[in-house]
């Protein structure tokens, strides 16, 4: 089996002569823990690739520290996304009516036409009211129709 962090396990020695490498079981343990907690596999693969290329990751301790930073950042962003989704769901479920968009303002030509039609509209409204009062129609809406 090829080691996950091949460049780190290549026998680089420090001044004291000891080798610095990330052990495969450390990487596997972190990946399996993250999988169990629901992190996407593509994200885990990207993290492993990034940390494999990271100059500062030289041993288990530096790997665990860098992994923890990536994990904390992901959890923070994920919790923010979940809160946003919950807020949108609550707003979608609220019983309040949606805000009414303001009407556009009529231009001068439309205003002139409305003014010309106004006497006819008022006459129709007065006739409908008389029909309701006389009992011809039982509601103003039906009288206007």
Burial class from Cβ neighbours inside 10 Å (0-12, 13-18, 19+) for residue 52 reads middle
pLDDT at 118: 87
What distance in Å separates the CA atoms of residue 63 and residue 91, rounded to the nearest whole number?
42
Q: What is the pLDDT of residues 18-58, one digit of tens each?
A: 455 888 889 999 999 999 988 999 999 999 999 988 888 88
Q: How far is CA 35 from CA 30, 65, 134, in A?
A: 9, 18, 78
Packing angle between helix 60-93 and helix 24-36, nearest 10 degrees? Answer: 10
Q: What is the pLDDT of residues 113-141, one digit of tens each?
A: 888 888 998 888 888 888 888 888 888 88
pLDDT at 31: 92
Name the 3-class secondary structure at 19.
strand
pLDDT of residue 98 exceeding 80, the answer is no
The pair of structure tokens assigned to 59 is 């041993």
Q: How many CB atoms lie within 10 A of CB 141?
A: 10
Q: What is the pTM of this model?
A: 0.50
More confident residue, 110 or 72: 72
Name the 3-class secondary structure at 80.
helix
How much of the chain, in percent, has pLDDT values that exceed 90? 28
């Amino acid at each position: 089996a090829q080691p996950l962090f091949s460049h780190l396990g290549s026998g680089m020695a420090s001044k004291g002569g000891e080798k610095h490498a990330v052990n495969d079981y450390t990487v596997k343990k972190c990946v399996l823990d993250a999988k169990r907690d629901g992190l996407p596999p593509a994200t885990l693969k990207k993290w492993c690739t990034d940390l494999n290329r990271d100059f500062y990751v030289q041993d288990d301790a530096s790997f665990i520290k860098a992994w923890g930073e990536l994990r904390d950042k992901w959890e923070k962003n994920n919790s923010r996304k979940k809160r946003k989704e919950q807020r949108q769901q609550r707003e979608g479920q609220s019983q309040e009516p949606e805000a009414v968009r303001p009407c556009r303002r009529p231009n001068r030509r439309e205003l002139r036409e409305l003014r010309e039609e106004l006497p006819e509209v008022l006459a129709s409204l007065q006739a409908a009211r008389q029909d309701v009062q006389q009992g011809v129609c039982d509601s103003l809406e039906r009288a206007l129709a």
